[in-house]
Amino acid sequence: MISLRDVSKRYGLLRVLDGVSLDVERGEVVCLIGPSGSGKSTLLQCVNGLEAIDGGSIAVDGEAVHGRGTNINRLRQKLGIVFQQYNTFPHLTALENVALALRVVKRMPRRDAEAAAARQLAYVGLDGKADQYPSRLSGGQQQRVAIARALAMQPHYMLFDEVTSALDPELVGEVLQSLRKLRADGMAMLIVTHEMAFAREIGDRVAFFQEGKLVEVGPASQVLDAPRDGRTAKFLGRAAQ
Amino acid sequence: MLDYQFHWRAVLADLPELLGGAVVTLQVTALSVIVGVPLAVLLAACLRGGASARRPARAFIEVTRNTPCLFQLYLFYYGLGALGLNLPSFTVAVVAIGLNNAGFLADTYRSALQAVPAQQTAAARSLGMSFLNAFWHVVLPQMARIAYLPTVNQVVWAMLNSSLGTLIGLRELTGVTQFLQSRSFRTLEFFLLTAALYYVLAKALMLAAALLGRRLARGAP
């Protein structure tokens, strides 16, 4: 379980996270929605320890992410993260992108790592692209390489940070398809998204963020169709326009 | 003045000795690059760090870039000699030219380091890589691609600079030439031949660099 308790973070005077508490169970899919700058992406970065927190605690399977004694490199292997801007490694082929951490972190022999990487690329539908460099791939394909790269580490949880926001509209579908497949396979996911229809479809629960606060969280259909909080309703009204 | 008689035969008979000098030149060049490049990477990292790392690195760069390379050789050869530390001229040439390489490459490497997006490190770290692994496997290769050509220029420059070693008694290409021309008095022939040899060495380095560089360009758009 990913467990956030009263998490706070500020940049100078700006409170980007303000007393956020949220749990994600194994196998559960939680979608984070809310206006830009509301702290959703920062939250994901905090969960995998790329960002520090100023208050509260975040635990993954009972281990504190920001704890002093925590081996963050080991803990991060449980948490795959995929970024808005793909961040594929440009000097490596698709296959090498996926195999690199298997060799360096998991210390797998090159052949085993590449065989595992090939399986992950096939999983996201990129079998034929293994030897291509990112510069030769479309945004959607690069994003799927990034998903395969994270999945190769066999994480318990996947964090998705607006993974379709930088994509051309016609490329969004292929990336969302990979997420659907993951859900069907029981992967626990924390998904920051602006695609309301997708959040409704894939989310067990939806959490609405505004100004660093978790305004409302509940079953996807309840939050999206019958929000209890006026701020959620207002945001959804604007998003629907 | 114009009735100079070229005598190439005697000069060409000494070619093996000249080539021996050229080998020393290449050794000094190669070792000075091996000293200079890692040090320049370290300096670049220091320049991006806190004040306690940045200030000494900046001071080192200022001194190496703004004093003559010959002075730097003298400093290590006669300066340390005055303190009782008598280093062989080969060692001095390698160290002094190596430090000179580092000083000239450090700022280039700093900007190359800056040009690799921080998100690349974040992506590598998110996979569980240590800071050093992320640097070695993800940042450094991308940095190398950007810094490659300036580095090649510096290698050629180091090779030409190594001729200063003559002045501390090093028998590299220029030193050997000096010796041979004073023995035979075929001054012009020897200097022309040595100029040609330097030219060939520099071109050979550029060619080797171009071949090696093709691997670095992997994945470039």
Domain-located, residue B82: yes
Domain-located, residue B36: yes
Strand order in the sheet with A2-11: A14-24, A2-11, A55-60, A63-64
Number of domains in chain B: 1
pLDDT at B103: 95
Q: List the domains of chain A with CATH numbers.
A: 2-88+156-240 (3.40.50.300)
| pLDDT for B221 beyond 80 | no
CA B156 to chain CA centroid, nearest Å: 7
Chain B positions touching A80 (Cβ under 8 A) are 126
pLDDT at B216: 80
| pLDDT for B55 beyond 80 | yes
Domain-located, residue B73: yes
Block mean pLDDT (10 aa), chain A, length 241: 95 90 94 90 93 94 92 93 94 96 96 96 93 94 95 96 88 89 94 91 94 93 92 90 75
Domain-located, residue B1: no
| pLDDT for B44 beyond 90 | yes
Residue A231 C-alpha, separation from nearest chain B C-alpha, in angstroms: 33
Chain A positions touching B142 (Cβ under 8 A) are 89-91
pLDDT at A210: 92
- Report whether B105 contacts B151 (CB < 8 A): yes
Domain-located, residue B221: no
- B43: how many CB neighbours lie within 10 A of its CB? 25
Which chain A residue is nearest to residue B143, measuring alpha carbons? Answer: A91
Which of A89, A145, A147 is the best residue to mutate to test the B interface, defined by the most B CB atoms within 10 Å of its own CB? A89
3-class SS of residue A189: strand
Instruction: Supply the ipTM of this predicted assembly.
Output: 0.91
3-class SS of residue A21: strand
Which chain A residue is nearest to residue B133, measuring alpha carbons? Answer: A104
CB-nearest partner of B220 from A81, A88, A135 = A135
CA B111 to chain CA centroid, nearest Å: 20
| pLDDT for B1 beyond 70 | no
Chain B positions touching A81 (Cβ under 8 A) are 126
Which chain B residue is nearest to residue A71, measuring alpha carbons? Answer: B128
The band of B50, judged by pLDDT with boundaries at 50, 70 and 90, is confident
CA distance A19 to A213: 7
Domain-located, residue B117: yes
CA distance B129 to B135: 9
Report the percent of chain B where pLDDT is more than 70.
99
| pLDDT for B219 beyond 80 | no
pLDDT at A25: 93
Query: Average model confidence (pLDDT) for chain B?
Result: 92
3-class SS of residue A191: strand
CA distance A222 to A41: 23
Residue A223 C-alpha, separation from nearest chain B C-alpha, in angstroms: 31
| pLDDT for B214 beyond 90 | no
CA distance B94 to A131: 42
pLDDT at A241: 75
Taking an 8 Å cut-off on Cβ atoms, the answer to whether A76 and B127 are in contact is yes
Domain-located, residue B49: yes
Chain B positions touching A101 (Cβ under 8 A) are 124, 127-129
The CATH number of the domain holding residue B179 is: 1.10.3720.10
Q: Name the helix (H) or strand (E) containing A76.
A: none
Domain-located, residue B4: no
Instruction: Tell me the residue range of the domain where B82 lies.
Output: 11-216
